[in-house]
Amino acid sequence: MQQTSSNARGAATAGRTPGADSQRVIFSKALRQRARLRAVVNDSSLLAPPLVLVGLFVIVPIFVALYLSFTNWTGFTPPTPAGLSNYVRLSQDRDVQYSLQLTAIIAVVGTIVCNVLGLGVALLVNGNSKFNSLMRVLVFYPYVIGPIIIGFLWSSILGSNGAINALLHSWGGEGFPFFADPTWAAVSVIAVIIWSSFGVNVILYLAGLQTIPESLVEAALIDGASAWQTFWRVKLPVLAPTVTLNIVLPVIGLLRVYELILALTEGGPAGTTRTLVYNILNISFRNTQFGYGAAQSVVLMIVIIIITLLIIRLRRRSEEAVAA
Amino acid sequence: MKLKNMFGTRSRGTAAASVLVRTHSTHTAKAVVAMGVVAVALLSGCTAGGDSPSEGELTGTIRMLVEITPAKTLSYYEGLVAPYVESHPGVKVVFETPSTDGPQGTLQQGLASGDIPDIVQSNLDPVVAPQLLGFPDEAWVMDTPFVSANTLDGQIYKVATAAQIQSLVFYNKDAFDEAGITTLPKSIDEFTAALKKLKAAGYLPLQTAGEWVTGSQLIMMAQPDLMTTNPDFFAQATSGEATFADSAYATYMEAYEGWVKDGLVSDQALGLKYEDAIAGFTSGKAATIVMGNWLVNSIDEANPTFPVGVFPTPTIDGSTPRQYGNAAQPYSILKDSKNVALALDLVKYLVSDKTAVETALTQGDFRAGYSVTASELTMAVAQVLDDSPGLVSFYLGSGSSAFQDQVNLSVQSLYTGNSSSVAVADIDTWWKTNATN
């Protein structure tokens, strides 16, 4: 066949002039370029809408925030230059340092607990049954109803005059200072945040569990692996990409928690549940110091980027092992 | 009875007010009261924002961003403007409720997005003034309370419907009788002694709460002493000549610290909301609550089983305090409003029309020359105002809301173990960093 095709090629090229060959090459190149251009235009037209949206609602605000962080803008008068004073102030502000610590605690504790709970519940409700379907709806339901409603709901349960304390008082007991004591308030806030968030982790882990090949699990069982060994050595490694996602998303979300704080405690008692985003919005809108608020938001953005990249880098080995 | 100087000795003009309370003998809880509280300091040289338009030209839709409270609901506002809308065919008033950032925060967002209301009903911070229309130098404006307080660089940027006072202690008369308190306390020491007696009688002596209530109650108590002792305090604090640590705030903060330590306030108070505080008092659990005159409506609606009285907040030396007051139900107009003429006319109606003002006064606020049917408790508040030597204001500079927040944080920190000296030092630290005048 090759002989034939080379003969055919030879027969095809035999008798053609060099000029015609070069014209044919030029014509093919033009065709290829046009095809390439058409592909680029097609791809661009599909990418353009999301790119424009990301540009308008993500990229542009980032640069505006960056600009405002170097000004003393009140929101009501034109911005005036402030140089690096906002950043200098930020580095010395004890309230900001406290908020950063609290936000970090919420992010770390929340992420760990959401993942443990999320994976645990996902393993429990993984099968196909009406009960499992109902449980999946119930665990995801808090995520759907929104943080402000959740906040008001739990403040009416945990508040000093809330349902729990009212019941305790009616039994002659003392109430719990869920939102009246700083430590209790911090724990209560974290607990509510976890309750409202872990449903997403359940759903993501459920999706990840569906991708585990049955053959792997069966092979492990045939080899005599226990349920725990099957989970730890077969399922969990395969879930590596899902685990990465379940770490990155909660961390980013929990570093930005605000509405729940607003509805539950308004940053109290005595400012002890003010997260960084709560601080940013308070200083911007209540204190009319948008420039300083913008500086804090730039710092938060940098922190989130660094943490996200770190997590992805640390998780790369696990994911590459799965891919292999 | 004449109210001499509205803001201590800083009054720029003649502040003359006649407070006249006439009670008809009646066995019912209501009586007609002709209340005259005018907190007006006449200014010269107010800039004019233009003449009021003639009524025949006015049609269109007005967007009004309003403050919503348990008493000032959307129904209340709709009722307030109803007569105006009925008499002005072609005029529509659309009410907008604020986001969680309050009217000022919502307005900031509106300005940033270019989507602004025409009128804002809220006590806006002076920092907003550059965005607001200057009201004209006309009688209907100059006749409103707190004109000088509502003026910045010669521009009147908001007009008030009425005046409200805040240095009030509402008390359970039965509780005081049970506790053997026969004389109403005048000084901080007497007040503390009374609270201890109330505790011994089984009551929560002083109702407090979290949210904004904690700090506001301290301000309500401390502000009269602060401004009476030194009317220029805030300016001096900015220039470094005065500190909160050496002011009346320190004395009241120390007293508050003692109340926390002695259990005269609930240790769970920070977990309570404002509505819980009202319920705590009107249910009879708490014997006293420090609050402004707007509480009268809530108390009357709750209809407690015990008689409620009111007396002025205690002072350091036991003298009768000036009342800490401010503009009640003020209105501002955005200068970029698409319908300035109509907005001006509507605001003129709201602050000068007899029907509108008397409707507003049902909130329990005060205005000279207007009659309103009021409860006995409102009459009692009016008497407190009658007896006071004058009015004082809060800090009138930019960032007053933020300052209030800082005071709130500092007072709340007393519940979490902070000492009063540290709490006051935090206020001084905040002031050095944030105050602009």
CA B222 to chain A, closest CA, distance in angstroms equals 20
Nearest CA-CA partner of B304 in B27, B29, B21, B24: B29
CA B402 to chain A, closest CA, distance in angstroms equals 5
The token pair that represents A241 in the structure block: 């990409």
Distance CA A293, CA A276 (A): 10
Among A18-27, A222-231, B222-231, the range scoring the smallest mean pLDDT is: A18-27
A269/B270 CB distance under 8 A: yes
- Could you identify the residue written with the tokens 């949210």? B211
Q: Please identify among residues 175-194 of chain A the ones whose CB lies closer than 8 Å to any CB of chain B.
A: 175, 177-182
Taking a C-beta distance cutoff of 8 angstroms, is the pair A250, A243 a contact? no
Nearest CA-CA partner of B121 in B80, B65, B159: B65
Facing A262 at nearest CB: one of B100, B128, B210: B100
CA A53 to chain B, closest CA, distance in angstroms equals 17
Taking a C-beta distance cutoff of 8 angstroms, is the pair B322, B312 a contact? no
Going by the DSSP 8-state scheme, the letter that residue B368 receives in this structure is: T
**What residues of chain B lie within 8 A of the CB of A178, using their CB?**
271
Nearest CA-CA partner of B166 in B293, B252, B72, B40: B293
Taking a C-beta distance cutoff of 8 angstroms, is the pair B128, A312 a contact? no
The pLDDT of residue B69: 86
Strand B286-291 versus strand B204-207 pairing type: parallel
Residue B253: C-alpha distances to residues B165, B417, B428 (Å): 21, 13, 13
Q: Does A293 touch chain B (CB under 8 A)?
A: no
CA atoms within 13 A on the CB side of A181: 9
Q: Does residue B194 or residue A230 have the better pLDDT?
A: B194
The pLDDT of residue B216: 96
Taking a C-beta distance cutoff of 8 angstroms, is the pair A184, A97 a contact? no
**What residues of chain B lie within 8 A of the CB of A159, using their CB?**
271-273, 276
Nearest CA-CA partner of B231 in B240, B217, B245, B242: B242
B127/A271 CB distance under 8 A: no
A160/B269 CB distance under 8 A: yes
- Could you identify the residue written with the tokens 């353009």? A48
Taking a C-beta distance cutoff of 8 angstroms, is the pair B208, B217 a contact? yes
**In the predicted model, what is the mean pLDDT of residues B354-377?**
88
Residue A213: C-alpha distances to residues A122, A239, A259, B201 (Å): 17, 11, 40, 73
Distance CA B88, CA A224 (A): 87
Going by the DSSP 8-state scheme, the letter that residue A232 receives in this structure is: I
- Could you identify the residue written with the tokens 């309103």? B372
pLDDT band at B436 (very low <50, low <70, confident <90, very high): low
B276/A77 CB distance under 8 A: no
Residue B392: C-alpha distances to residues B165, B166, B235 (Å): 9, 10, 15
CA atoms within 13 A on the CB side of B171: 25
Facing B413 at nearest CB: one of A75, A270, A287: A270
The pLDDT of residue A322: 66
The pLDDT of residue A9: 47
Nearest CA-CA partner of B208 in B281, B257, B262, B261: B281
The token pair that represents A222 in the structure block: 């045939």
DSSP string, B313-338: PPBSSSPPPPEEEEEEEEEEEBTT-T
DSSP string, B102-130: HHHHHHHHHHHHT---SEEES---GGGGG
* pLDDT tens-digit map of B302-353: 999 999 999 999 999 999 999 999 899 999 999 999 999 999 999 999 999 9
pLDDT-above-70 percentage for chain A? 91
Taking a C-beta distance cutoff of 8 angstroms, is the pair B400, B128 a contact? no
B268/A177 CB distance under 8 A: yes
CA atoms within 13 A on the CB side of A295: 21
Judged by DSSP in three states, B18 sits in: strand
Residue type, B416: T
Distance of CA A251 to the CA centre of its chain: 6
- Could you identify the residue written with the tokens 């509205």? B6
Strand B204-207 versus strand B91-96 pairing type: unpaired
**What residues of chain A lie within 8 A of the CB of B268, using their CB?**
160, 165, 175, 177, 180
Residue B205: CB atoms within 10 A of its CB come to 25
ipTM of the complex in this document: 0.77
CA B278 to chain A, closest CA, distance in angstroms equals 12
Q: Does residue B288 or residue B9 have the better pLDDT?
A: B288
- Beta-bridged to residue A207, according to DSSP, are none
Judged by DSSP in three states, A324 sits in: coil
A270/B130 CB distance under 8 A: no
The pLDDT of residue B284: 96
Distance CA B37, CA B132 (A): 27
Distance CA B222, CA B229 (A): 11
Phi-psi region of B180 (alpha: psi -120 to 50; beta: other; left: phi over 0): left
The token pair that represents A228 in the structure block: 């725990």
pLDDT band at A8 (very low <50, low <70, confident <90, very high): very low
Strand B151-152 versus strand B159-165 pairing type: unpaired
Q: What residues of chain B have any CB closer than 8 angstroms to a CB in chain A?
A: 100-102, 104-105, 108-109, 111-112, 125, 127-128, 130-131, 210-211, 266-273, 276, 279-280, 398-399, 401-402, 405, 409, 412-413, 415-416, 418, 433-434
Q: Does A286 touch chain B (CB under 8 A)?
A: yes
| CB neighbour list of residue B268: distance below 8 Å, 6 or more residues apart | A160, A165, A175, A177, A180
The token pair that represents B370 in the structure block: 């207007």
B418/A270 CB distance under 8 A: yes
pLDDT-above-70 percentage for chain B? 86
* pLDDT tens-digit map of B369-407: 887 778 999 999 999 999 999 888 888 776 778 899 999
The pLDDT of residue A120: 93
The token pair that represents B333 in the structure block: 């107009």
A286/B398 CB distance under 8 A: no
B108/A76 CB distance under 8 A: yes
* pLDDT tens-digit map of B99-158: 867 898 899 889 888 899 999 999 888 889 999 999 999 999 999 998 988 888 899 999
Strand B60-66 versus strand B119-121 pairing type: parallel
CA atoms within 13 A on the CB side of B297: 16
Distance CA B85, CA B62 (A): 11
Distance CA B185, CA A318 (A): 72
Distance CA B245, CA B421 (A): 7
